[in-house]
Chain A
Amino acid sequence: DTAVSQTPKYLVTQMGNDKSIKCEQNLGHDTMYWYKQDSKKFLKIMFSYNNKELIINETVPNRFSPKSPDKAHLNLHINSLELGDSAVYFCASSPVGAGYGYTFGSGTRLTVV
């Protein structure tokens, strides 16, 4: 059983399109996150949700919008995709915040052409 699962694993799309990435966790964790990893492997937090409330929102363009239908799901919707959005996007979850460590999904490799 995969603890944190993301779909799709790979996404190739044209500039200007709108796309979504789905994430689900079956660990019963309270907090879920979205991270962006650039080509140099640097992980940067985008969003986190705790009990369906946004608790961190870094300087991310408003073309990116997280949606959490329930505690086990945190989806990422991206409007008007740009070339610079190409990266690997990771979903993660943790119990009662980061102090206990994150469990990451396997990532979604987004390529905008």
Chain B
Amino acid sequence: QKEVEQDPGPLSVPEGAIVSLNCTYSNSAFQYFMWYRQYSRKGPELLMYTYSSGNKEDGRFTAQVDKSSKYISLFIRDSQPSDSATYLCAMSPLDNDMRFGAGTRLTVKP
């Protein structure tokens, strides 16, 4: 079993839809949880960051962490074509041991 599991998709939604992206993990020591967005032929960029359990909202994006279920989610409201990218979850038990999911490829159609 991989430490971090993420459905690679692809996921295709119409513009304006609510998008739900998820990851599960097996290492209960993970404390830092992040979502990165990667456009084609670009490097990943940090989108959301959460420490331990709970929710965090930033504009149209909401990150949720459920440590009891070892499950994290990223919700995108009112999705736009510019949100089309690969979304990678990442998590770490310590300050310098980040583990990435395989990434979910999202397409938002106008």
Contacts and interface: CB of A to CB of B under 8 A. Distances in A.
A96 interface: yes
Nearest to B104: A41
A46 B5 CA distance: 20
Interface in B36-82: 36, 38, 41-46, 49, 51
Interface residues on B, range: 20 to 34
Interface string B82-110: 00001010001011111010110100000
Contacts, number: 67
Interface stretch (A14-22, A48-56, A60-68, A69-77): A48-56
Contacts of A104: 36, 43-45
B32 A98 contact: yes
B102 A98 contact: no
A101 interface: yes
A86 interface: no
A97 B95 contact: yes
Interface string A85-113: 00000101010111111111111010000
Interface string B6-35: 001000000000000000000000011010
22 contacts: A4-B43, A41-B86, A41-B105, A43-B88, A45-B98, A48-B96, A55-B96, A56-B96, A90-B43, A97-B96, A98-B92, A98-B98, A99-B31, A99-B51, A100-B49, A101-B46, A101-B49, A103-B46, A104-B44, A106-B42, A107-B41, A107-B43
Interface of A: 4, 31, 40-45, 48, 50, 55-56, 90, 92, 94, 96-107, 109
Interface of B: 8, 31-32, 34, 36, 38, 41-46, 49, 51, 86, 88, 92, 94-98, 100, 102-103, 105
